[in-house]
Amino acid sequence: MELVIARPSPYARKIRVALIEKGIPCDITVDNPWLQNPRIQTINPIGKVPALITHSGDIIHDSKVIFEYLEIMFPSPKLIPINGTERITHKQVEAVCDGICDAVVLIAMEGTRPEENQSVAWVDRQTRKIYAGTEEINKRLNGKQSFTSMELGLAEIATVVMLEYLEFRFSEFDWRPQYPTLSKLISQISQRESFLETKPVGQTLPQH
């Protein structure tokens, strides 16, 4: 299999973490979707990473769909609960974390525009999403070490990926003092091999 990624992408990182946790061999190809004619455009019509090319040549894109595919095809170790209520909890946490990352990306892209053309209102709107989303994740964790009875699953992976992406791209948000439970979670999980091997690395953003 081949996974096409961008190194800073939190969405691609979720999949890379899952691949390592499940022990799935996979070639990693680094692309830059912001450059002209990137390879990802020929794989995913939306032009977004990640995209997975399976052994049979099928192409799967969108991190949520890829994660589900890996869970179905490589069920051990399980990263999404079977229990319906717990499963929804993990998927809901993933949705909020992805929304936070979306807002960070939009702020970063706004910062590539000439300063006189940047919208303060737009940045403020995205910033509110980041703060509100992080508060929601903290409430859902509710002082525990994991979101459900599953010690490590999609919810924990999505949360730690999101928090480390905040520190990578939106460091002005010093969330750790405000959310000690989230800080403890990231301390517990971020030292796993799957996270150490996939830390975000910057790539060039276009200037508009």
Residue 36 has pLDDT above 90, yes or no: no
DSSP state of 147: S
CATH 1.20.1050.10 correct for 84-193: yes
Residue 208 has pLDDT above 60, yes or no: no
Mean pLDDT in residue range 124-146:
98
Q: Are 68 and 78 in contact (CB under 8 A)?
A: no
Residues 6+ apart with CB under 8 A from 69: 52, 54, 60
Hey, how many other C-beta atoms are within 10 angstroms of the C-beta on 150?
21
Start-end of CATH 1.20.1050.10 domains in the chain? 84-193
Mean pLDDT in residue range 163-168:
98
Mean pLDDT in residue range 46-54:
95
pLDDT score, position 32: 87
Q: State pLDDT tens for residues 78-115.
A: 999 999 999 999 999 999 999 999 999 999 999 989 99
Q: State pLDDT tens for residues 174-191.
A: 999 999 999 999 999 999
Start-end of CATH 3.40.30.10 domains in the chain? 2-78
Distance in angstroms (rounded) separating the CA atoms of residues 63 and 85: 21
In this structure, CATH architecture of domain 2-78 = 3-Layer(aba) Sandwich (3.40)
Q: What is the pTM assigned to this prediction?
A: 0.95
Residue 207 has pLDDT above 80, yes or no: no
